[in-house]
Every structure is written in C-alpha cells, then in structure tokens.
Chain A
Amino acid sequence: MSEAQPLIHLDGVKKVFLTDEVETHALAGIHLEIKTGEYVAIAGPSGCGKSTLLSILGLLDTPSDGRYWLNSRAVEQLSLSERARTRNREIGFIFQSFNLIGDLTVFENVELPLVYRGMKASERRTRVAEALERVGMAHRAKHLPSQLSGGQQQRVAVARAVVGQPLILLADEPTGNLDSKNGELVMDLLRELHRGGATICMVTHDPRYAAHADRTIHLFDGKVIEDEAEIAAMATV
C-alpha cells in the first residue's frame, strides 16, 4: 500500500435514520482519512454518532450519502457477501461487551473468522495458538467464556480480532465493561498491537483511554468538530 493512499477514506458520509416520519441525522457529512499504522481514537459524548461511524467503517451499515474507500476500494456498491468477505479478511472487531459466543470454547471463538475464511484446520490451529499466546490466554483455550473474567474475555475478543491479520482493528468502547485495572490491561494490549504495526480505530467516550491513541477525532452531533491530526498538520504548516 502506498503511503499516499489512506487505508480508510470517508468523503462527506452522512447517515440519516427515519423513525416514525422523523429524520435523525446521526452523521452529517464526515470527511476522514486513516492511514495504515495509525492509532486513532474517536471520542465524543453519548449519541454523537461514534458507534454509527464505527458501524459504517466496519461495513456493518451503509452511509445514506457520501463515499467510503477502504484500502482504495469504494465499498458502497459491494454486495452483501462481498461485504461479509471484506469484514472477514480486512477488519477486526473488538466490542464493549466482548460478544464471545457462549456455546463455543475460547479456542473455537478465536478460530471462527478463520473458519468463515475457509482456512485449513491445521493452519487455523497454528494461527489461533499464536493469537492466544499473544494476548496471554493460551492456557484457557478449552474454557468457555462463562468461565472467564471480563478482562480475560476481552483479551480473547482481541485475539479473535487479530487472528485473521486484518488491515484495521475497530474497537467499540473496548474498556466499557471492565474495571479500571482490566481496562488498562486491554489498553496496554492495544498499544502493544499498534507497536507491532496494527492500524487501530477505537471509539471511546473516556478521555483517559482516548489519550492512548496517536490521534483523536472528536465528534459532536454527527460532525467532526476536532481532528488532532489536522491540527498538528496545520501547526506544522
């Protein structure tokens, strides 16, 4: 990937929800670029459109208007199965409430994206073992999520997000359901991943965690009201 081409490029992205004949503008023309290797935090108060933006970035939702290029490819016209394939190969998700599947073991949860990718079992085993090792959960591979603490569950969720070696990790309030100690541990883990080269885009409303990122984008009423990267650029100029 060329340095000139951003990994994520949003141009005038809007999202309008229609409920009971009332239009709600969740996103009101977002312009955004995220480059490979960046660690970006999207911050803002509740209801400002952070999660909607993350859903659009993660191809879980489509914009009402505007353009979105992921890895130089326009994604608005992708079919459902192409979107699913893109999510599987290019995006890793980390949720606030972990979203591990209760009936599957830790190993099986982490293995799931690779299963959907159609990877051979032997290769999956190796990759899952590496991912679990990376987050320090290899010893719990056979446990069910209900047998783990919240912090452990989130570490497993991180392993699941990185096991497919995606282009970008999208984290939605990854510390929201954790106490401060476990929250810090997860943030350390993300930092470590970033140091290893991962591109991370994290939504958070907590300025302490936003501070872990290299760049923070502030949203308010569906608009970017402050982008620290732009400020820095302007300052450089």
Chain B
Amino acid sequence: MRHDLRSALRALGRDRAYALVALLTLTVGLAANTVMFSLVNGVILRPLPYPAPDQVVRVYPSTPEDEDQSASAPLFVDIRERWTAATAVAAWIDTSYALVDARGARAVRGAQVSDAFFDVFGVPAALGRTFSARAAETERAPLAVISDRLWRREFGADPAVVGRAITLNRTAVTVAGVMPADFSAVDHADIWIRATRGVPDPPLSGGDELVESRDMAYLAMVARLAPGRHLDTASAELDAIANTLARTYTEERGRGLRAVSLKDDLVGDVRPALLMLLGAVGLLLLIACANVAGLALARATTRQREVAVRRSLGASRWAIARLLLVENLVIALAGAGLSVAVTAWSLDVLVEMSPVAIPGAGHLAIDWRVVAFVAVAGLASASLVSVAPLATSHAPLEQALREAGRSTTSGARQRLRGFLVAGQIALAATLLVGAGLFIRSFERLQSVPQGLSADDVLSVGVALPPPQYAEPAAMRSFTRRVLDHLRRDGRVTHAAVAFPTPFAPASASVRPDVEGFPEGQEGPPVKLYWIAGDYFSTLRIPVLSGRVFSDADGDGAPLVAVVSKGAAERMWPGQDPIGKRLRAGGSEGDGWMTVVGVVGDTGTRDWAAGVQPAVYVSMLQNPFPYPGVVVRGRTGDAVDLTPAVREAVATADRELPLGDPITVEAAAAAAVKAPRFRTWLLAVFSLLASVLASVGLYGVAAYAVVQRRKEFGVRMTLGATRRTIAALVLGDAARLAAFGLATGLVVALLGASAVRQLLFDARPHDPVVFVLVSLGLLAVVLVASAVPAWRATRVDPATVLQAE
C-alpha cells in the first residue's frame, strides 16, 4: 500500500495539470455536498439541544382555518392542570424589554414565561439557577434568567451578575441565572422573565380582566411529555380536554388542541427544501465525478505504455487497479479535506442567509456526522472516478503494448467519455430545470401585489413598558408626542405609528363582531392594525372612499375604524361600508366603531397570501403598547431617517430604547427569505453543474480533436472544407448534448412533480423553463465545442499526413 501511495503521489506530481483539475472539480462537488449536509445535519439530523428532546412538544389551539393559534390564559391554565401526559406545560409571550443602566437604555429581546418554562427544556443554568414550577416559591418576586450572549454583551461575563437586581422596563428584576452558550429556546430571547402572576401578562393593558378572558389569545405554549408517553396518546388526551372545554365554554367551541413535536414544528416547513437541495448537490457531485472520470479515461489512454510495461513485468490487474484507485483516492480525500475547510468558512454565511430559525442553528458545526459524510462521499467519488478507466483497461497485453506507441484512442474509451459527458449534460439539465422552476416561482411570488409602496420607508419597533405606560393616557401621549416631533422634522415627509409595522413577523388576526350579523356569528377573519398619523399616505395605500383617521379621532371622540376593500366586501357585500359598525380586539367603551373610510388591501409577512382583508383602528382611541414608528423620507436611503426617529422617541421618553431600524423594503425581502434562499442555492448549484458539464464537454471535444487530427487531415484531402470539419466537431458535440439534454429533460419532467409543494403557484412543467434550459444548454454546448472545432479547422493535412 505504501508503494502504491508513493507511486500515486509521483504519478500525480508528474501530471500536475490532471491532479489540479481533478482536485478542483471534485472539491466543487464535495464542498457543495458537505455544506448542504452540514445544514441538513444541523437542522434535521442533530437532535435539539435538550435532554430527551423528542418529549418536547408545541401545543396549539386549532381550528380548521388556522391550525396554529395562540392560547388564552384560561385555556393555558386548563391544559396545564388537566393534561396528565405532560410533566410540564409552559406558556410565554415575546416581549421587548428596556434594559436601563448607567450606559443608558437598550432594547433586549425577551420573553415573559410561565414557571415551568425551564422544566420543559430541562437545561440547567450554567451559572446560578433557573426557575421551576416544582420549586416551592414563597414569593413571586420578579426573576430573570439571561442568555450567555446577553451576559457577555451587557455584563462583561461577570459571574457576580447572578443575584444582582437589574432594571428592566423601569422595574428591578433579580438575575437568577445565566444559561449555557448553546442554549436556545424557541423564542430566541436573550432574557426570560418569570411571570409574576404565574401566567404571562397580555400585551394590552386591562389587568385581570384580560388575563381571565378566553377571547384574549396571546400565549405560545410548549410542553414536556412524561417519560414513555408518545405523541399520539398524548394528543388523544389533548383531544379529550378540548372536547370537555368545548362543552363547558362557548368560546372554546369549534376549537381543538394540537400537539406537534418541537423538532417537526421548527423544521417541518424547511425539511423538504433542504432535502431537495441535498439531492441537487448529490447530482452536482455525480457531474463532478463523471467529469473527472472523463479526464481519467483520457489519461489512461496516454498511460497505456506505462500500464502495458507494468503488466509485462508481472503486475496483476488488481495491482494496476489499485494504482489507479489510490491515485483517485489521494485526489478525492484531498478534495474532502478542502471541502471541510470550505464548509467551515461558509457555514456562518449560510446560517446568516438561512431562513431556518431553530435552536442550535447558530452553533452549526462540523461534527462527526459531517466528517463521516465527507469521508464516505470522498471514497465513493474515488471509486466512481476509477470505474471508467478500469472498465476499459482489459485489452490483451500484446494489443496494449502494440497500441501503446500510437496516438489513437480506443473506441470504447471515446464512447465511454461521450457517455459520461452526455450524463453530465443530462444531470445539469435536470438541475437547471429545477433552478428555472424555482426562479420562475420566485418571480411570480415577488410579483404578488402587496398593495403598498415600500420604497424609502423606515420602520422602527418601540415597546412601551407596563409600569409607566400601563394607562392608556400615557401610551396616547407618547404616540402624539412622537408624531408631533416627526411632523416638524424636515427629513421626514410622512410619519405614522403602527402595530404591526409592514411585513413585521408579528401580526394580529381577529374575527370582528359585525353589527347586523346574527347573534353568535362572528365576522370573517381579518388582519387588525392599530395606527396613528399618516399611515396610509406613508405607505401610499390608496384611500378608496370616505376618510382616514385624523388627530381629532382621539380620546373622547366617537370610535371609528377604517376597513380595507376586501374586508368591506366580506362584511357588507354589495353595501356601502361607510357608517357600518364593528367591534374588534381591545376597543374601548362598548367597543362599537363606525367605519369612516375604505382603503386598498395590503399584504403581510405571509407574502404568498397576497393582500388580505384588514381593519384599522386608531391607536389614539385604542392605545397599544408596541407603537412601531413608520416614516417616509425624501428620496434616499431610508435608513438615514433613523436619527430622526431616535430624536422623536427621545423627545417623548429619553429612557425608551429603540428596536432595530429596518426599511420596509428589507422587511418585505425578509418575508420571502426562505424561497429566495432555496432559489439562490439551487441556482448556484445548477450554474456550477453547467460549468462542470461544459468543461467536461470541452475536454471531450478537445481531446477528440487531438485524437482525430489525422482523420481530419484525410477528410480535408478528400475535399472537406473547414466549414465541413467544424460542422463535424460541432455535430458530434451537439449529438452528445442532444442525447444528454433529452434525457435530462425527461428526468426533470418526471421529477418536477416532486418539488411541486415548494413552488409558488406551482407550474412544475412550465414550458418556458424547459425551452430556456434547452436553448441555454445548447448555447453552452456550442461555446464549449467552438474552440475545439476551430482547432480542428486549423489542422494542416500535409503536416499530419506526412507525420504518419
């Protein structure tokens, strides 16, 4: 073996061009596979970083229209007390906190969680302690557990932070512990605050009344199943609980309860896309192997004499095979090593780009699974690459020695190389069709009308902390002061305050009470927006009839609402909606609001759904604690408006931190991050595949021209013109390409249905894609074979024939 290795290294050293091209080609294939496998490993294969992770489940109230609803506090308490299959059930609500110290106020992503939150995940604190439902708590003092990231960023990794009181939302909260660096819960919070009343507070002020309401659904739930309990039996128990509750409470009628493993909940949507991409890079690796196999075949031809001499000296076929295999192993394993390096470098970039947000995704790493994968892929590649030259090296020794000195290649080798190239083109065509389908799908997705103009608009989230802003008047005052300041700011042309801001992840959906509907019949589901200021003109949403809110629509004025066209058509089909009345979440007084205007429908974070019916309520009449600021400036970078927003908020409350400013354009782009990510990756992979296939074709065509110089000379002697010779070379390449292309298109046609669920407005057999891919690949083939064809026409018959 050592002898083989030494011989292989020497042979590769002699033939550096081959070694380098083969190494680069295989590295492209292996690196793409290693990167994708790392993602699949981190997202799908690697268990969640909790003890017994399969026992951790998400729990959703569900209706046939909406499977993943939030829970009200009473529903959460019912589940917590009745569900015996779970050892711990917890609820939380995402919240932004203002962390205030001598350095000023900073916004911190956090969550208010119920007592059993850490019991569900079962991960102990790295420093200090967490809190637990099981612990006998004699007092319900505010307690916080912080993330390792926050501990390092805000407290300089000071262990003494444990037990210290910090100021959050102007309230003193004691830090109970610091979680390990690799801990990440479903909420991606940096701070977890124990709910002082055992159940997280609702986002709206209203105290016990709202907490006790079954209509106020705002909680996310997670649970840990008891050891030995399976999801199906636990789900059956949940069904029974839901039936009991439906019989007891009218609000729970028509609503079921659904448990899903946390892993499936997190990666369910992204699993098919990742597996599809892994399949795509598998094809890419096959193309790379076919490419190198083609090179190895050409090299085998030029090494006939060496092989013949070795065989004449007594080398067995296995010894010759081993020599070839070891050479290719050296290349493949070097490629595998480079792939690991490329993967290590690119993982951070991919994690940044990836739309997948799962616990531990930030710690994607090259673990033993990745190393084992790349090793197996490298070995398989070396074997695949070696098969072709080995299969054609069984010529009788006498013939091998006789042919060794000639410059001709065996027909079998040339045919095999042609077959390999056709295979590469077929695989590339399959990948290109896939990429084309995704690009077209993404184009259609992007062209879904969203009903507003995102250009030059900035949005900044603001959270009003409860103690100071518990009263509606305080929230109302804040909103007015911010708007007043922004309206006087010369940098801003339009300003508004809104929740949710355009394309934000958060949203509110309600079924409003509609005056005139039969008793007990809710209105159609609509999106609910709390707005103030020039919301519609800021986002250029057309006002279709009536009027929009004015500053006069404030406290004490009659309650008013604006509805979108779609909402109006659903609630009052064929009628003028102006003057109609409805009641939706959190409106004050008796809650009935009069519709004063109709505006165009707009889209949400759920981009693919397009525009959706909406009801707008005035934030001055119905104050809301998350008044996101939305401003439009004069043409330029909307981010430049950040100081204007900062100053306006500081004028209203100097200690209030701002969330991350984001342009509405960026928020819109984030809404299509997942399809863009897979489209981008597939496009890159198919581009690489096309490059590899065209390089392979070029190699075969160029090599064939060298081998056929004499034939071209003869043909020219017999009267062939340069054009005839060029047509001969191009025709051969075109035949290979046509065969490969036809095969690839058929495979793509059959396989396209498999990706139907990943396509928007699915058209898996989109003829435009198939035609464009065919023309594109034929153009690539033409370019790849143009140089060899040109060289063929330069053959000087007198020279090549005299050389004979």
For chain A, which range describes its interface: under 10, 10 to 19, 20 to 34, or 35 or more residues?
Answer: 20 to 34
Tell me, in angstroms, the Cα distance from A44 to B717 when the chains sit together: 24
Interface string of A145-174 (1 = CB under 8 A from B): 000000000000000100010000000100
Q: Is the CB of A95 within 8 A of B718?
A: no
Tell me, in angstroms, the Cα distance from A96 to B710 when the chains sit together: 13
Q: Is the CB of B721 within 8 A of A55?
A: no
A-binding segment of B131-139, B186-194, B358-366, B796-804: B796-804
With A61-B798, A99-B710, A101-B714 known as contacts, the answer to whether A80 contacts B804 (CB < 8 A) is: no
B312 proximal to A (CB < 8 A): no
Tell me, in angstroms, the Cα distance from A99 to B802 when the chains sit together: 11
Q: Is the CB of A95 within 8 A of B804?
A: yes
Tell me, in angstroms, the Cα distance from A109 to B96 when the chains sit together: 84
B-binding segment of A82-90, A123-131, A214-222, A227-235: A82-90
Q: Is the CB of A103 within 8 A of B411?
A: yes
Q: Is the CB of A87 within 8 A of B718?
A: yes
A189 proximal to B (CB < 8 A): no
Chain A residues whose CB sits within 8 angstroms of the CB of B797 once the complex forms: 60
Q: Is the CB of A101 within 8 A of B719?
A: no
Q: Is the CB of B801 within 8 A of A60?
A: yes
B553 proximal to A (CB < 8 A): no
Interface string of B713-727 (1 = CB under 8 A from A): 111111111111000
A143 proximal to B (CB < 8 A): no
Question: How close is B398's CB to chain A, nearest CB, in angstroms?
Answer: 16
Tell me, in angstroms, the Cα distance from A4 to B723 when the chains sit together: 38
Chain B residues whose CB sits within 8 angstroms of the CB of A58 once the complex forms: 717
B606 proximal to A (CB < 8 A): no
With A61-B798, A80-B721, A84-B721 known as contacts, the answer to whether A99 contacts B804 (CB < 8 A) is: yes
Interface string of A101-114 (1 = CB under 8 A from B): 11100000000110
Tell me, in angstroms, the Cα distance from A2 to B271 when the chains sit together: 87
With A80-B721, A84-B720 known as contacts, the answer to whether A112 contacts B801 (CB < 8 A) is: no
Tell me, in angstroms, the Cα distance from A117 to B724 when the chains sit together: 11
Q: Is the CB of A55 within 8 A of B714?
A: no
Tell me, in angstroms, the Cα distance from A160 to B719 when the chains sit together: 12
A93 nearest in chain B by CB position:
B717
Tell me, in angstroms, the Cα distance from A95 to B408 when the chains sit together: 18
Interface centre among A55, A84, A93 (most CB of B within 10 A): A84
Q: Is the CB of A97 within 8 A of B804?
A: yes
Q: Is the CB of B801 within 8 A of A95?
A: yes
Tell me, in angstroms, the Cα distance from A202 to B461 when the chains sit together: 95
Interface centre among B710, B713, B716, B724 (most CB of A within 10 A): B716
Question: How close is A134's CB to chain B, nearest CB, in angstroms?
Answer: 18
Question: How close is B406's CB to chain A, nearest CB, in angstroms?
Answer: 11
**8 A Cβ contacts from B679-738 to A:** 710-711, 713-724
A99 nearest in chain B by CB position:
B714
Tell me, in angstroms, the Cα distance from A157 to B804 when the chains sit together: 16
A236 proximal to B (CB < 8 A): no
Question: How close is A51's CB to chain B, nearest CB, in angstroms?
Answer: 6
Tell me, in angstroms, the Cα distance from A99 to B801 when the chains sit together: 9
Our pick among A61, A80, A89, A103 for the contact of B722 (Cβ within 8 Å) is: A80
A122 proximal to B (CB < 8 A): no
Q: Is the CB of B721 within 8 A of A160?
A: no
Tell me, in angstroms, the Cα distance from A84 to B718 when the chains sit together: 8
Tell me, in angstroms, the Cα distance from A113 to B802 when the chains sit together: 21
Question: How close is A19's CB to chain B, nearest CB, in angstroms?
Answer: 12
With A55-B798, A60-B798 known as contacts, the answer to whether A87 contacts B714 (CB < 8 A) is: no
Chain B residues whose CB sits within 8 angstroms of the CB of A116 once the complex forms: 715, 718-721, 724
Tell me, in angstroms, the Cα distance from A184 to B17 when the chains sit together: 49
Chain B residues whose CB sits within 8 angstroms of the CB of A77 once the complex forms: none
A81 proximal to B (CB < 8 A): yes
Question: How close is B797's CB to chain A, nearest CB, in angstroms?
Answer: 5
Our pick among A51, A89, A117 for the contact of B802 (Cβ within 8 Å) is: A51
Interface centre among B713, B719, B720, B724 (most CB of A within 10 A): B719
Q: Is the CB of A117 within 8 A of B719?
A: yes
Chain B residues whose CB sits within 8 angstroms of the CB of A95 once the complex forms: 714, 801, 804
Instruction: List the 7 closest pairs (A to B, CB-CB), nearest first.
Output: A88-B719, A116-B719, A60-B798, A55-B798, A61-B798, A99-B714, A84-B721
- Provide 24 A-B residue pairs closer than 8 Å at the C-beta atoms, listed in order of the A residue: A51-B802, A55-B798, A60-B716, A60-B717, A81-B721, A81-B722, A84-B719, A84-B721, A85-B721, A87-B716, A88-B718, A95-B714, A96-B804, A99-B710, A99-B717, A99-B801, A101-B714, A101-B715, A102-B711, A113-B719, A116-B715, A116-B724, A117-B719, A160-B718
**Which residues of B are at the interface with A, using a C-beta cutoff of 8 A?**
408, 411, 710-711, 713-724, 797-798, 801-802, 804
